[in-house]
Amino acid sequence: MSVELQELLSFHRTGKNRALKDKKEPALKLRPALFADYSQLSKLRYDYPLVLLDESRNGDHVISLMDLINEVLRLVVPPGTQGTRVRQQVLALELKIRELLRTVPPSKLGELWRRAEKDLLAHQSDEVAQQLQESWDTAWAALRVDGLVVDCDSELPEQFVRHFWRCEEALRTKRGSAKIDRLILKLGDILTVDELKSESSRTPRKLRDSLGSRYQDAFDFDIMAELLNSAAAPVRLPAQRKKRIKAALATLKSQHFFKHSDTDASAGQYGFQYRSVSAAMAAWYERLPDLVALNNAIAVAELEIDNRYCETRHDLYLGRLGAHALSPADLAFFPSYLVSLSERDLDSGEQAILMDALSSDLPLKILLRVNDILGSPSPVDAQLHNGVRGQQFAAMTVGLNDAFVVQGSSSNLYHEQAAVERGINFGGPALFSIYAGSCNMPADLPVYLSTAAAIESRAFPAYSYDPSAAGGLACRYDIEANPQLEAQWVAHEFIYEDEALQRVTETLAFTMLDFATLDVRYADYFADVPKDSWHENMRPAVEYLELAEQERQELVPYVVMIDDKNCLHRLVVDDMLIRVAARCAQNWDTLREFGGINNSYAQAAAERVSQHMAAEKEQALEDLRAQLASRPGVATSGSAPAALAREPEQDVASVAVETIEPELEDADPEGAYIETPRCTTCDECTARNARMFAYDENKQAYIADLTAGTYRDLVEAAENCQVAIIHPGKPLDPKEAGLEDLLARAADFS
């Protein structure tokens, strides 16, 4: 074993090799090789910054600046070269706004737009300035929106979730206020009508005041009062009903959950935003009696307005209604509570309260900002604690099975806005566990890159869990926000020049190990190997992770990095980090199973079906051999039968196929099937849809799951089958697009 390899293995297995560490160049700033294209993020067009819209548009509460500018360009810029000048001028303004975000305080889009115009016009001639101003004015007129512009930074999770919560709560409180106002008006009308039936309301003066000044001279109100009082006494409200209506009306007017027209817009109204779960739950229970009283008052008011209140039934029922009788629909009517906290705020007591809140039915919306995914190595066992708080809370919440969960990072919040909105509107508790970046990352590393790296590396995968979704776990889990779902690690093409200035293209995986290189606490878990010490026994870490333990004995894993001069480096990885990466891969595999990908239960069931089919096939062959043996002139041993002797290449199995084929004609003509014994293993169908089509132990195709694909998959697989053994049958989904054409094509294989 060479000295170089001994040094590499020594560091990998023990993390302690001073000779290797002394060869490092500490002045160089290393970063993952796949970061090479993102060195100047502010000059790239991507999802951020975002505009938190002042007024929702088409149901959207937020839009990215890039999407907004693209929309404007489509509206005002002529296509082709004719619109090139205006397009470039508007894009230049967008770039300037991106640059301004790094130096100015949070501002509205309109303010940033005007500031960017001023800066860009400062050194232009009058003629050029006029052209620019005309282009920008046209673009601004087409925007028709405004709102706070926010970048992808550590504050984004709170700004984003709070904005969605405010928008959705504004709609909820608007509906609630309108309902309260309507009930107050209707109950007031009932009491007013009853009051008009009293003797005091039929005095000459009261009658004159009620008629108004225009017709007062046309009537003799003394005679009118005498006539009205001489008539039969009108039917008045029963005293008990009048008391009940007044009590409900008083409760509606004095409530503090919603604004109503009789009060000042903010006078006495409850607040619903908190910085701790304990404070939010304390407020909830303190207000619970008022909530129950208001809920009962609403029920009484609706019954009285419709004149459906029955004292013998409703007095007993409504009199016993308490907090235990509040239904999900009742709670959904009232505002929800937003709690914004950091994982650093969670001491043991607050953790217990948080888990209690998430297992309740309370309308708590909890934003948990995660700032440390890896955790610090333990001084006792030198082990990393991957996602000690953020991921564990999200996972445990899912286990409770009654809370909505969204896990993600600042970088993917824009694409997760639909999940955030569903969580806000969910009837029970919801947890938004969002990685907001870490102070342990390099100060010059954009938060967007570090938080995107957490998703890409599988260190903090994105998902949502909706317990109200119909179906099993695969319907409740949504992992679509993660890149390359079918792969264990995300991989990208990496292009560079070698020493001979030749273009080299490789595929690099981005793993949890690459993410760990960004954390300054783990510098000692990597060793930079000079190029003259690179060894043939060095393996990319992603390949090393796939090897069995005995295959790793004299191999050393590394990750590829680049320095500030864009030169390639290899960092040898400590074995402890390799173990952590393996656990990270296992966690990702588990999450994929929940999301319906590579489910081990489904695979085991498919294997059992395959074994059963193989056994049936073998039994059919045995039965056929027995039939052949019983025929006159057919020998089971010794010389071959005459029929077989004429075609020596045809064995018993091929005769079995010919015997079985007529039985296939009795198959259900409406259902899809494959003549499995005739399969030639051409891979056409399995390559098209590996979940719908699969191979048995004889490497012959069968339909594993008819629901795992479309009727188009069946028809196209049949058309490409080399031996025409796939029979599509009839479609399962009568609404599938293009069925008329597909059925015509399938007729050739019926």
Angle between helices 348-358 and 390-400 (to 10 degrees): 30
Q: Hey, is 750 helix, strand or coil? A: coil
Domain end, chosen from 102, 121, 151, is at 151
The domain spanning residue 740 has which CATH number? 3.30.70.20
Q: Which residues contact 560 (CB under 8 A, 6 or more apart)?
A: 32, 33, 494, 508, 540, 568, 569, 570
* 247 or 637: which leads in pLDDT: 247
Q: Is residue 227 part of a domain?
A: no
Q: Is residue 349 part of a domain?
A: no
Q: Is residue 22 part of a domain?
A: yes
The whole-model pTM stands at 0.75
Asked if residue 624 has pLDDT above 80, the reply is no
Q: What is the pLDDT of residue 724?
A: 84
Asked if residue 266 has pLDDT above 70, the reply is no
Query: How many CB atoms are located within 10 Å of the residue 419 CB?
Result: 25
56 plus 33 within the same structural domain: no
Domain end, chosen from 130, 151, 172, is at 151
CA nearest neighbour of 462 among 432, 492, 439 = 432
CA nearest neighbour of 133 among 155, 110, 117 = 117
Q: What is the pLDDT of residue 652?
A: 34
| Full DSSP string of 272-319 | -EESSHHHHHHHHHHHHHHHHHHHHHHHHHHHHHTT---HHHHHHHHH
Please give the Cα distance from 113 to 139 (Å, whole number).
11
Q: What is the pLDDT of residue 383?
A: 52
Q: Is residue 700 part of a domain?
A: yes
Q: What is the pLDDT of residue 225?
A: 62
589 plus 604 within the same structural domain: no
524 plus 572 within the same structural domain: yes
Q: What is the pLDDT of residue 4?
A: 75
Single-letter code of the amino acid located at 455: I
* For residues 366-395, average pLDDT: 66
Q: Are 149 and 51 in contact (CB under 8 A)?
A: yes
Query: How many CB atoms are located within 10 Å of the residue 82 CB?
Result: 10
Please give the Cα distance from 12 to 572 (Å, whole number).
7
Q: Which two tokens stand for residue 483?
A: 């890149």
Query: Most confidently modeled of 379-383, 393-397, 631-635, 746-750?
Result: 746-750
Tell me how many domains the chain contains. Answer: 3
Q: Is residue 584 part of a domain?
A: yes
13 plus 98 within the same structural domain: no
Q: Which two tokens stand for residue 90?
A: 């508007």
Mean pLDDT, the chain, rounded, equals: 82
Asked if residue 331 has pLDDT above 50, the reply is yes
Phi, psi of 308 (to 5 degrees): -115, 5
625 plus 707 within the same structural domain: yes
* For residues 480-486, average pLDDT: 91
Phi, psi of 366 (to 5 degrees): -110, 120
Q: Are strands 526-529 and 568-573 parallel, antiparallel or unpaired?
A: antiparallel
Q: Lowest-pLDDT range, 347-351, 541-545, 738-742?
A: 347-351
pLDDT confidence of 360, banded at 50, 70, 90? confident
Q: Lowest-pLDDT range, 35-49, 50-64, 655-669, 692-706?
A: 655-669
| pLDDT tens, position by position, 551-605 | 888 899 999 999 888 889 999 999 889 998 999 999 898 888 887 776 666 666 6
Containing structural domain, residue 674: 600-749
Please give the Cα distance from 432 to 423 (Å, whole number).
8
Asked if residue 223 has pLDDT above 80, the reply is no
Q: Which two tokens stand for residue 464?
A: 């949502």
Q: Is residue 446 part of a domain?
A: no
Q: What is the pLDDT of residue 318?
A: 75
pLDDT confidence of 659, banded at 50, 70, 90? very low
744 plus 685 within the same structural domain: yes
pLDDT confidence of 79, banded at 50, 70, 90? confident
Please calculate the CA angle 285-290-294 and round it to the nearest 5 degrees.
Answer: 135
624 plus 719 within the same structural domain: yes
707 plus 738 within the same structural domain: yes
Q: What is the pLDDT of residue 161?
A: 96
| Full DSSP string of 594-650 | HTTSS-HHHHHHHHHHHHHHHHHHHHHHHHHHHHHHHSTT--SSSSPPHHHHH-TT-
H/E element, 695: strand 693-695
Q: What is the pLDDT of residue 630?
A: 67
Query: How many CB atoms are located within 10 Å of the residue 624 CB?
Result: 18
- Write out 447-466 in H/E/C secondary structure: HHHHHHHHHHCCCCCCEEEC
Q: What is the pLDDT of residue 636?
A: 43
| pLDDT tens, position by position, 532-561 | 888 888 999 999 999 998 888 889 999 999
Q: Is residue 141 part of a domain?
A: yes
Q: Lowest-pLDDT range, 88-92, 165-169, 469-473?
A: 469-473
Please give the Cα distance from 101 to 112 (Å, whole number).
8
632 plus 725 within the same structural domain: yes
Termini Cα distance of the chain: 65
Please give the Cα distance from 573 to 576 (Å, whole number).
8
Q: Is residue 235 part of a domain?
A: no
Query: How many CB atoms are located within 10 Å of the residue 488 CB?
Result: 19
118 plus 27 within the same structural domain: no
Domain end, chosen from 541, 568, 594, is at 594
* For residues 32-48, average pLDDT: 86
Asked if residue 665 has pLDDT above 90, the reply is no
Q: Which two tokens stand for residue 664?
A: 């296939």
Asked if residue 54 has pLDDT above 90, the reply is yes
Q: What is the pLDDT of residue 213?
A: 64
Q: What is the pLDDT of residue 234?
A: 65
732 plus 680 within the same structural domain: yes
Q: What is the pLDDT of residue 341?
A: 92
pLDDT confidence of 655, banded at 50, 70, 90? very low
26 plus 54 within the same structural domain: no
